[in-house]
Structure 1
Amino acid sequence: MAPAFEPLAASAATKTAKYSIIAAPEHLAMEVAQAEHRIQLVNFWRIPAGSRVLEIGCGQGTCTAVLAEAVGPEGRVEAVDPGPPDYGTPYTLAQAQAHISAGPVGGRVAWHAAEPTEFLARNADERWDFAVMAHCIWYFASPETLAAMLSALRGRVDALLVAEYALTATEKAAVPHVLAAIARASLVAHNKASEENIRCLLSPGSIKCAAQAGGWNLDRECVVVPGQGLLDGHWETSTVKSKAFMEEVDAHIHDSVVEAMLRSSRDAVIGALAALDGKKARTMDVWVARFD
């Protein structure tokens, strides 16, 4: 009999946040908000204790720590990310992952610096209960990358668990984040050398179509409205509003029509932020889904 699912309590957010930060008490509130968000995701996905989880695009391990808490001492999380060890700020992938490994849930996590499809090919005999893609799909190089990943996972896991930004804004203050994501993705589409974190802007509808083509059936889905403590919308709008955005346009875009489109996209973000009367942009809605 499969183990019963026990939801993680919101109070677990502070504990798992401490697993995933190194020594920055001033960042604790920010990390707690990130952990609270991921607890919402894990509870929707209904991951029971004792599960074996493959996490695609684990990054610095914010979701990894929550997954490790959910699976308990008898569970296992295989966390895969192709990013270089020195990627990330204020702490790199290597620093953050080492911190989690040294903590209370470290024994439940195995880190793998690899392209996910290559990792699957090298471990052809491995099977997992769940594959998790939490806020990683926009990092993929192309829609074809997602399609290849979804096809490679079919038959290797019992369920596919996905969370990505929904490109909708239930809260008016999240509209700038939606516009910023589109602006950033548009620039990266015309500058393939960019290392920004929005490389392939895929909507929930596009992800569902790719999953269906890969043989996955949608079990359930919902939209989560992030709390004010989740600052991703503020960070993303700030990068588009900055001078660096237009400097990147000037350096890499040589088509006047594309340049005008990108400049106007940035102006739309600035205008939407001005409508907030000095308040920070909220983070846009998040789409959460489970496929079998």
Structure 2
Amino acid sequence: MRDVVVIGGGAAGLSGAVTLARARRSVLVIGDGSPRNAPADGVHGLLGQEGVPPLELVARGRTELQGYGGEIRSGRVVSAGRDDDGFVVSLDDGSTERARRLLVATGLVDELPEVPGLRERWGHDVLHCPYCHGWEVRDQPIGVLGTSERSVHQALLFRQWSDDVVLLQHTAPDPTPEEAEQLAARGIGVVGGRVEEVLVTDGRLSGVRVSGGEVVPRSALAVMPRFVARLDGLAGLGLGAVPHELGVGEHAAADLMGASSVPGVWVAGNATDLMAQVTVAMAAGTRAAAAINADLIAQDTARAVERARAAG
């Protein structure tokens, strides 16, 4: 039985695993090698590693983990549950792993609006976070695909990076009078109707077609997905997704140190913090790992005291 099995091999999971391995814990990371940000050209805002390709960041993290004696298994968890004094995790290849504690860092799924061509450009010139990719589309014509009452806020955010921003109303409610005044004051146009197609020219986004046939030229499109924690195969733990307090999707609830409502199970990264950037996810993995190690130390100490008492 290992000390910890980490389910999910992205930024949060690997950061937690490295911290645990450096604490001389036996740790195994199980991941399928498909981090959420894989389509992106680079990771931004990561101090000292600006623009590193997402898969390269994962490869570096794996190498670091193995350097400290941590293990990595490629695969997908299909079930997990309690087993005597720990947990048993079953993989899609039929194998099982046992651990005293679990760290869930499975990330999330971006549920995008059903607009033809949108998914194909996701992570390139279709994006959602201005802090992650705003610099890369600065001074370009940007469209904000309206999907909710938060779309006005998103349009005002992207106005910081470009003075050519248009709110494509799509399925968002009409702006309130106050919001309409704000948009007008910032020079943000509003285009009514549903977006029916994302247009691509020479391999790059070139605009959108709205109902009625009008084409709105744009070089980048911002959209707020619905975020849903990836918890496939973990129902046996009693770990489920609940609505996020900001109304942006569903997450696995956890406290500030990553402890879930299930004793012995911690959660880190986008599986619990739906809005976390890579830097925040990495920090959360490290913090959760420290909490797990402290919990294991308490158990190890209690057992040592029992043995000492039994020895007289």
The bucket for the TM-score relative to the shorter chain is: 0.3 to 0.5
Output the TM-score relative to the length of structure 1.
0.34
**Taking structure 2 as the reference length, what is the TM-score of the superposition?**
0.32
User: Comparing both structures, which one devotes a greater share of its residues to strand?
Assistant: 2
Larger Rg, first or second structure (1 or 2)? 2
Identify the structure with the greater helix proportion: 1
